[in-house]
Structure formats: C-alpha cells, structure tokens
Structure 1
Amino acid sequence: MIENITIKDFATYDNIGIQILDLKKVNFIYGANGCGKTTISNYLYDNSDEKFFNCSLAWQSDIPLDTLVYNKEFRERNFGKGKLIGVFTLGEATAEQVKAIADKTEELKALKADGIKKRETQTSQIQKKETLENDFKEKTWTKIYKKYEPTFKEAFTGTLQKESFKNKFLQEFGTNTATLETLANLKQKAKTIFGEVPETITTINPLDFERIIEIENKKIWKKIIVGKADVDIAKLIQKLNINDWVNQGRDYLQEDETCPFCQEKTITLNFKNQLESFFDETYLSDIKSIKELKQEYNSLTQNLINELNSLETNQKDFKNSKLNIDRYSAFLKTFISQITANSELLSNKVKEPSRSIKLISLKEQLDLISELVVNANAEIKAHNDIVANFNTEKNSLIKAIWKLLIEEYKTEITQFNTVKNGLIVGIITLKTQIDAKLIEFNLLDLEIKNLSKNFTSIQPTINEINRLLKSYGFLNFEIVPTSEEGFYQIQREDGTIAETTLSEGEITFITFLYYLQLAKGSISEDSVNDERILVVDDPISSLDSNILFVVSTLIKEIIKEIKLGTGNIKQLILLTHNVYFHKEVSFIDGRTKKCNKTNFWILRKKDKATTLQSFLMENPIQSSYELLWQELKNESPISSLTIQNIMRRIIENYFRLLGKYGDDYLIQKFATKEEQEICRSLISWINDGSHSINDDLYIELQDRTIETYKKVFKDIFLLTNHEGHYNMMMNINENAE
C-alpha cells in the first residue's frame, strides 16, 4: 500500500506543497474543481514523469503495487477510438481449477505476508542499528571531541563533523598500534607540533671553565712567599714580618745611598746586595706567577661573565627558549658575586705575597649553570629532531593522541561494536531469508500466472458489463467483441456501432464499468491475480443523480472487500468534488461513525496554491439528515433506486434514534399487503446490514410506483404519530388549509 504522498512544485502546488500522510486501506479526499485532485491522480498514474521531479511516494515495506487510476485521462486513453482493450478474467474454468488457483493465491499471500513481516523485522533492526550509531555518535562528540578539541584540534583535522569523527574513532580503535602516552606528555608535544610550524633552534655553546678551576686550585695561593732566609737581613725582616713592606720599598730605592724614607746616606752597596739576595729568583718567580695567574683568572672569568650575561639576555627574549631562565639567572648572580670575592683575594695576594689565601670554588656554581645548558641543549636537540622530521613526528603525535582517546573510551567502544555486530548479523540473516522468500514467491507467482493463462478470457468481462448496463436501465446498447481480437466496442440494438451517438454520461458510465472490471482482472492474461491499488478521481462528474447512487454502491462493494481483505484490491484512494457523492460513498451505516481503516482529507485552493487538511477517521462531510429530506423534496425526476435509498436512510436515522420502533412494528402499521411489502423493501436493507441493491430493484419503476413509495413513506410517520416531524422536514404548513 501507499503510506505517504508528497506533491509540490507542480500545477497549483507550490514549493511547500502537501503531504498526504498515514494513508489507510480506504482514503477519501474531497476538493472543489481546480484545487489539484487530477494532479494527484495523474502523478499516481505515472510518477516517473520528470514534471513530478519534486514529488514522492512512500510504499509500505518499500513494496510498490500496480496502481490503476480512473480519471478523465483514463477515459481518453481507453475509449478514445470508440473501442476498449479486452480485460481478462477467469472464464472457462471448473470449480476445482478456480479453487486450485485460489488456494495457490492464498499461499502466495501467506508468502508475501511472511516476507513483509521479515522485511519489517529487518527494517526494525536497521532502525535500531541507526539509533545505536546516532547515540554513539552523539556521545563520542560530546565526551571526546568537545573535551579534547581545544587542545588537540589539529589532530581532528578531517573529522570536524559528528559522523566523520565517529567513523575515525571506530577506525582508530581497530587499527591504532601506537604506544600509550600520558596526557601531559602529549600536551607538551602538541605545543611544539600543533603551534606554529617549528624552526630549528641554535644550541647553546657549552661552558669552558676548566682553566679557571685549574687556576683556582694552584697551590701558590696558599704559599707564603718570602725572601731568602740565610741572608743577614732576613732575620730582621722575618722577625718584623715586613717582607711585603720591604719588597714594595725596593721600588723606591735610588741610585745613590740616600734612604727613600729617612733621606740619610744609609743605603750602602752591601745593603743593596743583601736585599737582592733576600728577594732572590725564587721569590721573584713566585711574584711573577701570582701576578700572571691573577691577570689570566680575571680575564677568563670576565669573559665568561660576559658570555653568560649575553646568554641570559638572549634567552629571555627568545619565546621558544628551552633554558630554565629563572634558575639560570639565580645561579649566574651567585657566580658573579663569587668572582668578585675571588678578585679581591687575588689582589690582596699580589699586594701581600706572604699571605696565604683560599679562593672560593666556582666549580659547583659553574656545574649548576652547565647542567642547565646541557638540559636545554638536550631539549633543543629533541626539538630540532622534530623539526628535521616534522611530518613523521606530527603523524606519530596524532596517532598517540587517538590512542589515548580510544583507550579512555575503550569499554563503550567494545560494547557498541558488540551490539552493532549482533544487529548486522541479524540484518544479513534476515536478508538471506527475504531473498529466499522472494525466489519462492516468484516461482509460485509464475505458477499461478501459467494456470490463469489456461482459464482466462475477455468474454466474462463482456457479460458482466452488459449485465450491469441492463440492471441500471441502459437497454439500448451493449458491449460486443470487435473483429480485432482482444477489443470491445459498443453496439446498439439494431447492430450499429454507437461510438458517436453516446452521451457524455453514457460514455463515462461505460468506461467506469470497464474500469471496475479492469480492477478485478487485467489486460494481460498472466496478471489477472496481481494485487493492485485503485485511484478513483470524480467518477460521477458527468452522471445524473440516478447513476450517482449506482456508482457509489459499486464503489462501496469494493470498499467492503478491501476492509475484509478479500480479493486483489488492497487500497482505494477516492477523490471527488461532489458533496452528495462523497457522503453517499463514505457512508457506513447509521451507527458506525468511524473506521480505523479509513481516513479523510480536504483539498483547498487559497492564493493560487493548494493546501491539505487532514481529518483522520473523522468524516468532515457527515451524512446530512437535512440533505436527505432536501433530495426527497426535489421536484425533478428521480429514480426509484435513489428515492428508495433516501427514504431508507431517513427511516434508519430517525426511527433508530428513537430506539423503540422495531421493523415489524412499522410494517404492521399498514393495512394492505401491498403497502406492507413496500415498507418492507424500504427497511429490508437495514435488517440484513447490506446496502447493496437487490437484482429485482434495478429496473426503473413508473412514476405511479414512485408516488406509492412516497405515500408509504409519509404514512410511516403518520401511523407512528410523527406527522409533525414529517411536516417540519417537508416544510408543510399544517394550518395552510
């Protein structure tokens, strides 16, 4: 069956269009002329036409059925040249043969029902799988992507949509073999790799301070440097501990014998010789050494300070510095203060060589600074290695990041895959079963078609159409086979072809009867039993009121079969603009107002665009009690069939509502046998629950008989003391006399 219809961007349907949702077995669509009913029927006839590009159909279980459409185009296609293509139905077949076909047809229905059930189960499994995947997609997006996107956004390149992220996540779970790293480590790497494209960093020159330490460790700094002890003057100098003072005073000795201090002639040649002997070559060599070492030490340390200060300045300005600049600055400050202290000690040693000094060791501080430099260079090397092999390192980092993510969500992924794989296995199993059922169905369907070919004929269709024509009073023409095999034509009683002399209403009625036969059979003998959908668009537009009731009765017979599930017609979509026809064909009975197998809609045209209103099971055009009386008051000629139905409906509505008048009670109110029979005929349909027309009531009655019906109808109200209601509904003024 058709479940939903969408019509838009064509004719009176704008780009929003309409959606006819939740179609049932029986569907009534009411709409005035020009509101777009024929557009719907034409689309259902041929939805492959490119003009319906934006329209769509949804089939139950995705199984399309043959759709047979009746509208103006149907009449033109099938009666345009005055002849009709033959319709095959089961003809010369024995009861046993018909039963064999029927049994196999029922078996085919069971196969189809089983296949549909399995397909529905498969669809349910597919929907569960889609729901599972959507839920998993939302969870991974919320719990993983949103959590890590600010830090690892570049690792998610190409997966910035929920679906792609989910797919990548599952793919990595199955293939990622990277080593699991800590989040902190990955964040640190990401700063280098996911920031600006990194550049090579120059390594820091290692510190060279071996010579400084070597000078510091010279024993001369502790050595007491004094003159030669075996010189006469030595005893006095050493006793007075004036070695350094005397040595400095030597620089002030003049060429003559004048003492630089007392200015007396006391500096004899002997005294000078003794001074020279006291401050011998050893002494002078030591003095020279401490002066040279001091100068070298000061020069080396100053150069090192300059180098370290320059390094500090450069690293502070370098945003990608790997040096721990805070610790470096602290160590450097201590180092400079130590050098300052050592410089003062060295100066004192030069001034007073006889003193023993101990320099502050710079090794510990230089080792600390050197360690910082070594660590920085190690990081620089690692950084430069990354730069040298950037793409490889970047890919490795991305792999490591995904490894961390899937490890964090490992339990959920495993559970998801288990459930999903179970659903996939079920879906594949069901598909295998469905395919097997389809093969079995096609083989059985072919067998039925072959059996039907042996017993099908177009003659039963001719007989049935002619019977219906006579039953409804069309006595001056009939359907006969043409000389061309497989076609019909319309022939008058005198044998002439009636193609050009038929009225519009007669042609419409004949083609509708033909359509009904086509609905039960087929123009192809091998598809007589195929299931189908009927779409009926205004079948009474050119018919008079006498035929309206006949057509509605025929359609209601089809509706009854559809609701019971018998026959090969599975769904009806009826479109009409005629209010009375709509009421008549949708009427169930006087008690049942709704049916869960029926839905109603109204099409309206507003501002040149068609809109649709759904009423579900609620008939928007209810059977109107007043409308029935209005038809009864109509002065124009009316057939006995129509008037009998109107009267029957009024009696059913009115007296059943009172609830105390049985059928026999009403009949016994009449004195004559004739009047009792007429009353019985009016209400007989109520007794057996059928609204079909009895064969003996098909022939048009004379006006006298119609008047008799009217009299009996009126007497029912008179004899039951409800004359006042009759007069009110017929607009009869009781005081008019």
Structure 2
Amino acid sequence: MKKLNSLKNDIESKLKFKANDEIKLDKNLFLATSGKKTYNIRDIEAEIESSNENFSSYLLNPDAKEEKTRFLLEEPRPFINLFPEQKPNFERYYQETINLLSKEIKPNEQITILINDSLLQEWVRHGIDNHKGKHEKCAFCGGTLPSDIWTKLDAHFNKESEELRAGIEKLITTITNAVERINNFIFINKENYYSNLHKIIAPLIDKWEKARNKYSESLQSLISQLNTRKQNIFETIKTNEIENISEEILGLIVEINKVAKDNNTKASTLINDQHHTRYELRMSEIARFAIDIDFIKKSNNIDSLEASNQVVYREIIAKREEVKQLVEKKESLESQAKDETKGAELVNQHISDFFGHGELRLVAEGESPNIKFKITREGTDAKNLSEGECSLISFCYFIAKLEDEIKSQEETRNLVVYIDDPISSLDSNHIFFMFSLIETIIAKPNRYKQLFISTQNLDFLKYLKRLTSPNGKGSVSHYLIERKQKGSEKGSFLVPMPTHLKDYVTEFNYLFNEIYKVYKEVGGDKKAMISNTYNQFYNLPNNMRKFLECYLFYRFPNSESPLDNLSKIFNGNTPIIINRFINEYSHLTYIDRGWKPIDVDEAEECAKIVIEKIREQDPEQFAALLQSVT
C-alpha cells in the first residue's frame, strides 16, 4: 500500500505541475474561453486517457510545431474574389489562323516583279495610298507616273486580297488583345492567404506563370505567322503545329479558386481552426511529457499494485456480506418470533417482489399486543413519502391482511372483496404490478364470493380484463357510474359499460361515440334531450376537436398541426365552420362565448358533417367504429 501511494503521489505531482504551471500559462497550448476558463490535472488526465497511450502518434516535428504556432497568430484575412472558370479561346484563334493562312488569292493581272518580291509588293501597296489622286510624279524619284499605272496596280491588288489582308489584321488585333488579357488575367498575392495555405498556393503561382508564358508564346506564334502572310498576301502558308494548353490553364484556374474558397471559408472558421491547432500543439506537448516521465510504465505498476489490493478488498467485501446475511437472518428469526412482524414481512415481500421497492420497508416495533409499525427507507425513518408510496404501502398491507383472512378461514366462498381505484396516484409501471398482485393473491386462487374493482384509469381497466375469472368472461360484468340530470333533479346512476370501453378501451372509440350520439336520430324533443345531458353537450366541441386531431393525424401524419388538414377532407367553407365550433366553444376564444348557451342546431349540424364525411371517405373504418359503439 505504501509503494502504491508513493507512485500515485509522484505521478500526480508531475501532472499537476505540467497542467497548472506550464500548459495553463502557455497561450499556444491553452487559451481560456467562456466555456473553459482554466486547465487543471483533471484535464491533462482526460487527454492522456483519450490518447490511448499512443503518444508517438501525437508528436509534432519542429517544422510542424513552428507552422502551427505561426498559424495561431493569424488575423482574419480579406475576402478573395474568384476568377472566371472558363477555357481560353486558343482553339478558335488557331482555326481562324489556319483558314486565313491557307486561303488562296490570285491577282486579276499579275505584275511579276511584285509577285517575286514581297517587300517591294508591300512598298508599292503603301505607295498607292500616298500617290493615287495626290501626285502625278513619283515622290521618290521624281519621274512621271505612267497614265495606266493605277489601272495595272488596281488589277494586281484586287478586292479579295484586300479583304484577306483586313481579316488578317483583325485577327492579329484580337490575338494581341488575348495576349494582354492572359498576362493581366490573374494576379495572386501569397500574403493574402493564411500561412497554412502558403505551401499550396505557392506552387500554383509558379505553375500559373509558366502556363501563362507558354500560352502567350503560342499566341505570339500565331501572330508571327499571320504577319508573314500579310507581307506576302498572294502566297499561302502551312500553319506550324502549336501545343494547345487551354485545358491546363482552366485546370489551374479551378485549383486557384479552390484554394481561394478554402481561404475565404477559413476566415469564418478561424477561431475553431486555431482552437484545434492549439489542441494539436497541447497533445504533442503532453505526449512528449508522458514519454519523458515514463508514464506508461508507472501506470502499469500502479495498475498491478491496485489489482493485488483488489484481491484483498474482495475478500473483505465477501466477509462483510457474510456478516450482513447472518445479521439479516438473525433479524428475520427475531421478527418471526413476533406475531405482527410476520405481517410486516409479508408487506415488505409484496413491495419488493411486485413493485421493486427494496428501499421501502415496514418495520414492527414493540411487543404484542402493543406493536406499532413504522416505515423506513434504506434503514432510516422515511420522511416526506409521496402519495404514490403511501398508496403502495397501504395496498400491500391490505393484501397482506386479506391473505391472513383467507388462510384463517376454511370456507372463503362468502368472502366479498371491494377494491376502490387502488392506482390513482401510481405511475404506469406500478399499474401493471398492482394488477399482478391482485391476480396472484386474489383472482387466480379463486377463494372469494364476489370481487368488485373500481377505477378511473383506462390502462388499469385494460389489465383488469385479463384477471382470471371463475367461470370465464361470462361471469364478469362492466359498469359505468354516470351523472345525469332530468329537469331540476340530478343524480348518479350505474349503467352498463358501452361496448367501445368494454371491448376496446381506446379514447378514439369513446370520442366517436360522443359525436355519434348527437348525430343519430332519437325520439322526442332533441333540444330537451341535449339539455338533460348537459355534460355530453358542452363537452362536444372539445371531444370533436380531439377526435379530428386523432383522425387527421393518422390520415396525414406529416403535419405538426393535424387540424391544418381539415380542408383535405372537407370542401367549401365547411373547414371554417368546423374550426369555429371546435375552437370557440372548446377554448372560449372570445369571452362573450362564455355568456351565451351553445347553439343546439349548430352542434347537431357539425356532428352530422363529421359523421357523414367519415362514412363517405372511409366506409370500412366508419363501419368498424359504428360496430364498436353499438
């Protein structure tokens, strides 16, 4: 034990120092937030545990640590606009160049000396513009120009050749502009990107410069060939093969935009990214620390020593349990020596077996005949018992007394048992156990003359139908206590339970029956009948609302508000009429509704609309509902 404590204290002191005096004070490893204001030994222990002692996988090399530390200094960067992702028009330029260079042009009347000398031909073409209509003599040599000189030259430089020349010049201008656009298309400043993206964007910048220069060279090659044809307009030229890198350029633009998107996204996630980076730096530091102090070996030693101690602890616990059982046996024997304590133990047995309440016990105190009972919870006097616990103990005591009555009498065929709503304050689990207790102790042995059970709980009623009866279901009757009014006289009456409660026990059948009572034809004055059954009448709007909510939910289970689907089954203004009736009369939306009696004709009409619409749309379900309540 001494060695174990020494090892624990040593490793605990090192963990405390690392957490409190180093990690907590280093803002690169931990930064206080509103959600996490400090860092202590519990935190470092949890992070060591999360590593599964695989410390080497968390270690960072110096370069990675430097990069991540630098990232922690980052401030939000401005938004970077994306470049249009479109392929350059090189293919079009190249095809148009081929067309112009290969187009054949012949002069109407060839001047041989010009055909053989392209420089002289170009010089003459410019001379025409400077002399025709302006000089009668040559401005260069002063000689008189022949009278037919313009006719010969016009025949040589015909319209077709001039159109070709104009087309070449236009294409040269277009390609020259393309060279300027590609040179100015993208400018990337690496400093606009977060530092952890520099290693991605820097190579792309180099690739872009090379691709742009290569593309410009390809365009310049097209311009050069066009100029050659322009200088000798009557001689076709075979176009040189030029590499088309348009796809490469488009791919680079897409990659550059992707990095820009990541950069823009990082601006919104910077705080979370820095939080994760700080976690990585901290885990690297913790991993290095754990390796330095030989944490795994020391932990294994502690585990080994604790395992040895556990063997001793288990032996101690076993002996304690043995002593406890002997004490309980002694108490049991002492309890059995007292008459009343036997009843208390029987109550405790029922509480434990049927309800799982091992902590609640009934304890007998004193000597017969002056024995009193007290209720304990886990060995101490129970205080502030809930209503459900009181009902539970009372019922178990009643059952225990009833068992004594059954055992003490040779003939129990005259025994009449009445149980009045025993589960009014119990939860659903206790409802089932209450039924089990009645079934096991009373119903199944069948040692009684009559058994009456009243309840207001439909779940309990459902279980009561499973009780063992002496002569099958035919020997069981079901009744309702119903309050009625006739004129000024009021009273409660015992009436046969309706089929929808006796056989189905669902509120849906009950609600349908309440609406159907108003709908079906009855003899005599219906208004008088309704006023004498005021409970049914004034509950009708609320019953109708609950019935429609249930019916519409199963018809259209994709809406949070089932009544919003009224228009799907009712036409015209009927949904508005129904809505008004079930909302204004059930919720008292307007206070003046509380001062006026409900309109009998309106209630009857709404009931008629609902019943007949269900009959029309769901005839099979209507027939089944009607069968369940008639």
Q: Per the shorter chain, which TM-score range?
A: 0.3 to 0.5
Instruction: Name the structure, 1 or 2, with higher relative contact order (CA <8 Å, separation 6+).
Output: 1
TM-score, scaled to structure 2: 0.37
Name whichever structure is richer in helix by fraction.
2
Structure number, greater radius of gyration: 1
